[in-house]
């Protein structure tokens, strides 16, 4: 019964968080993280979450990422990847270098510095996307840039984990075969997603295979969703999201990446059950899509998905004696990562992705979060191999906490400039640089 008590406490915290988010005008995600941290440090929630709560939180992030992908346009996402390579590259190298140099300054241990740099590299895209969603900015070009660059960043980070961790711990030698295997798995995963998008899911397509074998159209996603007149549409799409999430996990990605891709390739047209696709679809025929989306959004953003962020907050536990001793380290590392991430991602977005300045700065803010991979690396380095010292561990944990808190705060602060409600002009000698949105 302890699991039920813990869930009741978490759901109570979610309600309080929503209540506090209204008058403060801050995103509820900030309160979710703070509530989880407060409860675990008061001893109300356990330091090690139970299997049930961890599983519930995992389902939550899968639902959140699927819901976000469900709203995204596939063509916009593909175009976003072409614009986001620089953000992923420079937005990862800069925080890695900043963390490495700062850790070397304080502790002077290369292996420790390498693992700490890796922990501070990957972006917690789920936190950013939910923060953008709460501000109704999740469909913006900046949001697409963040999501696509974060996925590329995730692939690179997974490769880095496989390469750097054995080097830092001394457990294995680095081989060309091992690195190549990681890259091949990444390519194969996206090939599978492309196959689902172009051939398996569509009920109609311009591909030659549909003209040669027209009976294939009967087995598309629309036929499955439309079974029993669409009464089980929500079950079908959630099952699809879960299966693709599990597939992404088998390929070495976080399940949330697969969930987002599943939402991306399930289209609104699959919910239209009219037998003649050439006939214009009335608004009433989109009722199945609207109803399914409403249900998914409710579970993703109201009562299941947010459990992930509360559980994430419980990772922040503090021993006051150790914490006080590393306050200078925390301040230096937090500020170093913050400035390195914002500047590198913003400049890359502007000059390699051709985003406007107000979008580039939002992308820089959105790349600040640190979550899943950071804690995985900390676990490997601190718990499993004792490469990370206790002082360094607390420094990383506190830094991750403050970076995560900064994401919704900075997005909330920048929103008026992003939307053109306020204007920010930077004077550079005789030149004036418009950083906010001047088109609105």
Task: Locate the domains of the chain by residue range.
Answer: 2-434
pLDDT at 280: 43
**What pLDDT shows up at residue 81?**
76
343 vs 325: CA distance, rounded Å: 29
pLDDT at 31 (0 to 100): 87
Q: Distance between alpha carbon 282 and the CA centroid of its chain, in Å?
A: 35
Q: What distance in Å separates the CA atoms of residue 264 and residue 260, rounded to the nearest whole number? A: 6
- The architecture of the domain spanning 2-434 is Up-down Bundle (1.20)
Residue 187: the pLDDT is 82
pLDDT digits (tens, 9 = 90+) for 193-230: 888 888 888 876 666 766 776 766 666 788 888 877 77
- The pLDDT value recorded for residue 376 is 67
Mean pLDDT by 10 residues, the chain (440 residues): 90 94 76 90 91 91 87 72 85 93 94 88 78 84 84 70 64 63 79 86 72 68 81 92 91 79 87 54 66 92 90 80 91 96 94 90 91 71 78 89 89 90 75 71
pLDDT for 346:
94
141 contacts 359 by C-beta, under 8 angstroms: yes
3-class secondary-structure state, position 427: strand
First to last CA, the chain: 54
Question: Is the separation of the CB atoms in 112 and 329 below 8 Å?
Answer: no
Instruction: Return the pLDDT at 373.
Output: 67
- Measured CA to CA, the distance from residue 381 to residue 375 in angstroms comes to 10
Helix (H, G, I), strand (E, B) or coil at 134: helix
- Residue 195 is predicted with a pLDDT of 87
Could you say which DSSP state residue 142 is in?
Answer: H
For the chain, how many residues are written?
440
């Amino acid at each position: 019964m302890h699991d039920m008590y813990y869930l009741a406490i978490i759901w109570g915290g979610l309600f309080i968080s929503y209540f506090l988010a209204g008058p403060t005008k801050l995103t509820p995600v900030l309160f979710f993280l703070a509530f989880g941290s407060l409860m675990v440090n008061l001893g109300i929630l356990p330091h090690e979450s139970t299997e049930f709560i961890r599983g519930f939180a995992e389902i939550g992030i899968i639902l959140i990422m699927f819901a976000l992908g469900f709203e995204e346009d596939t063509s916009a996402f593909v175009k976003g990847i072409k614009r986001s390579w620089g953000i992923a590259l420079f937005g990862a190298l800069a925080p890695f270098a900043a963390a490495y140099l700062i850790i070397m300054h304080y502790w002077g241990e290369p292996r420790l510095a390498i693992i700490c740099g890796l922990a501070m590299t990957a972006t917690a895209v789920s936190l950013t996307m939910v923060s953008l969603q709460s501000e109704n900015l999740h469909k913006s070009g900046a949001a697409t840039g963040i999501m696509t660059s974060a996925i590329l960043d995730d692939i690179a980070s997974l490769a880095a984990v496989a390469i750097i961790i054995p080097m830092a711990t001394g457990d294995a030698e680095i081989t060309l075969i091992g690195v190549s295997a990681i890259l091949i798995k990444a390519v194969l995963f996206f090939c599978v997603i492309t196959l689902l998008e172009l051939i398996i899911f569509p009920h109609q397509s311009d591909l030659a295979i549909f003209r040669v074998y027209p009976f294939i159209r009967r087995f598309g996603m629309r036929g499955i969703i439309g079974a029993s007149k669409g009464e089980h549409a929500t079950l079908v799409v959630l099952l699809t999201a879960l299966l693709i999430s599990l597939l992404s996990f088998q390929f070495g990605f976080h399940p949330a990446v697969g969930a987002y891709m599943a939402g991306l390739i399930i289209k609104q047209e699959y919910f239209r059950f009219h037998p003649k696709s050439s006939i214009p679809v009335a608004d009433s025929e989109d009722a199945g899509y609207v109803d399914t989306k409403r249900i998914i959004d409710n579970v993703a953003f109201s009562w299941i998905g947010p459990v992930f962020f509360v559980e994430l907050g419980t990772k922040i536990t503090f021993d006051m004696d150790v914490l006080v001793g590393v306050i200078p380290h925390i301040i230096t590392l937090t500020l170093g990562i913050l400035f390195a991430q914002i500047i590198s991602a913003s400049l890359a977005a502007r000059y390699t992705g051709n985003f406007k300045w107000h979008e580039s700065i939002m992308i820089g803010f959105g790349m600040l979060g640190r979550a899943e991979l950071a804690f995985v690396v900390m676990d490997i380095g601190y718990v499993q191999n004792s490469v990370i010292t206790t002082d360094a561990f607390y420094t990383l944990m506190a830094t991750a906490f403050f970076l995560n808190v900064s994401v919704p705060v900075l997005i909330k602060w920048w929103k008026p400039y992003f939307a053109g409600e306020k204007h920010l002009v930077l004077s550079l000698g005789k030149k004036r640089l418009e950083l906010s949105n001047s088109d609105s």
